[in-house]
Amino acid sequence: MSTQVPLYEQIVTMLRDQARAGVFPAHIAELPLGPDTRLGDLGIDSLGKMGLLTSLMDLTDSYFPDDAFKDHHTLAEISAIAEANGSGE
């Protein structure tokens, strides 16, 4: 029996992995990311946000419009939006 990792944790892992790979600002890999962390506080530019959307679409097998996530969205809100629009599996 496999245990599914919650989507929020998958998003945090993806952010950290992509920061280590140079896709997102390097400091994100070391930040204490919590559910209340706002997207705008991470220092991700518009190109990075597009990368985040693409990664979430791959992760959830769903489509999100370009403006799905705003700077004021928290990681918990992004997770909830993604869960509402995709499988998260």
Q: Which residues form the domain of 19? A: 7-85
CATH number at residue 31: 1.10.1200.10
Count of domains for the chain: 1
Sequence-distant (6+) residues with CB within 8 A of 33 are: 12, 15, 16, 75
List, for residues 36-85, the tens digit of each pLDDT value: 999 889 988 888 888 888 888 888 888 887 777 887 889 999 888 888 87
37: in domain: yes
47: in domain: yes
38: in domain: yes
- Its pTM stands at 0.81
Residue 72: left if φ>0, alpha if ψ -120 to 50, beta else—which one?
Answer: alpha
